Amino acid sequence: MDNDKPTIAVSKNLFRIALIDASIVLLMVFLPTFSHMLSFPLYKFEPMRIMVLAGYLLSANKKNAYGLAIILPLFSFITTGHPLLIKSVLMISELTINVFLFSFLVEKKLNVFFAMLASIVLSKVFYYGIKFVLISTGIMNTNLIDTQIGIQVLISCVIALAFALVYKPLKSK
C-alpha cells in the first residue's frame, strides 16, 4: 500500500499542473474577446510572457514553462491566426530563452528581480535582433517595434518585481 503513495502524489501534481495549464490556455483564448470588450489592446501587457511565467510559478516546474512557451503562441496562431506563424515561432524562441535565462541566472545565485529583468531584456534583444533581420530580408513586413519601449520597460519591471515577491526556488524539475 505504501508503494501507491508516490504514484498518487505524482498523479495529483500532474492533475494540478494540467489544471493550471488548461486555465492559462483558456485565458489566452478569451484574451482577444476581453481586449475587444475593454476597447484596449491587452497584448501591450505581454500576456503570453505573463502566462508562461505564471505557469512557471504556479506549477513550480520549468519543463512546464517551456511547454507553455511553445503551446501558447502556437495555440493562438491555430485558433485565431494571430500572431502570424513566423512571429509565433519568434515568440516561442523569445519565451523559451526567457525561461532558460531566468532559470540559469537564479541557479547562479543572481537576485530574483535582476535575474528576471535580465532574462526579459536579453530575450527581447534576441527577439528584436531576429525580427530586424527578418524585416531587413523582406521575410516579415511589419514594424520593428509595435509596443512603445517605455511601456515595455515598465511591464518588464513590474513582471520582475512580481516574480521577486512570490518566487520560491524550484527543485531541478
Q: What is the pLDDT of residue 5?
A: 61
Q: What is the pLDDT of residue 172?
A: 46
Q: pLDDT per residue over 112-128, tens digit each?
A: 999 999 999 999 999 99
Domain-wise residue ranges, the chain: 4-166
Work out the average pLDDT over 26-43: 85
Q: What is the pLDDT of residue 115?
A: 97
Q: What is the pLDDT of residue 121?
A: 98
Q: pLDDT per residue over 57-100, tens digit each?
A: 999 899 999 999 999 999 999 988 888 999 999 999 999 999 99
Q: What is the mean pLDDT of the chain?
A: 90
Please indicate whether residue 121 or residue 20 has the higher confidence score (pLDDT): 121
User: Are the C-beta atoms of residues 43 and 35 closer than 8 Å to each other?
Assistant: yes
